[in-house]
């Protein structure tokens, strides 16, 4: 969960990226202009690319070699991004459901505490709550 943060860290100047991807600076700048990548900038206005940027450039390169145009690639990236957003949304929903279950169980404890003051949960409820 911390990996994404690292993968998005602005790390390499364009010179390194040209060696990593075998793309020319001209091509890389053009792809940025076309909205395919959005590298950060230093205070001196120099581009800094992240691991994700490099990966994306490699994807762009392979798509181009397969004959897909810029517009097509823009759509591909757009869709793959939507897939990621959908997955994140699914995770969010799961967590919200878990919290709702927790509130329900705590409410049960308050309304129907047992003699020993233990949380009235059985094994099934616990495993269901802590799953994931």
Partner DNA sequence: TTTCTTACA
Partner DNA sequence: TGTAAGAA
Binding site for DNA (CB under 7 A): 13-16, 18, 24-27, 29-30, 44-47, 64
Q: How far apart are CA 45 and CA 52, in angstroms?
A: 20
Of 63 and 129, nearer to DNA (C-beta) is 63
Minimum separation from the CB atom of position 5 to DNA (A):
23
Of 46 and 127, nearer to DNA (C-beta) is 46
Minimum separation from the CB atom of position 123 to DNA (A):
58
Q: Which residues contact 46 (CB under 8 A, 6 or more apart)?
A: 13, 14
Q: How far apart are CA 69 and CA 14, in angstroms?
A: 23
Minimum separation from the CB atom of position 32 to DNA (A):
8
Residue found by looking up tokens 């309304």 in the block: 111
């Amino acid at each position: 969960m911390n990996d994404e943060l690292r993968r998005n860290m602005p790390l390499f100047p364009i010179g390194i990226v040209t060696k990593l991807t075998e793309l020319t600076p001209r091509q890389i700048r053009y792809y940025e202009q076309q909205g395919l990548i959005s590298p950060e900038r230093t205070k001196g206005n120099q581009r800094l690319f992240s691991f994700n940027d490099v990966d994306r450039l490699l994807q762009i390169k392979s798509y181009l070699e397969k004959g897909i145009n810029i517009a097509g690639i823009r759509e591909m990236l757009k869709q793959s991004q939507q897939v990621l957003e959908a997955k994140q949304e699914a995770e969010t929903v799961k967590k919200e459901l878990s919290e709702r279950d927790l509130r329900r169980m705590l409410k049960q404890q308050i309304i129907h505490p047992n003699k020993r003051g233990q949380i009235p949960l059985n094994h099934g409820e616990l495993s269901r709550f802590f799953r994931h």
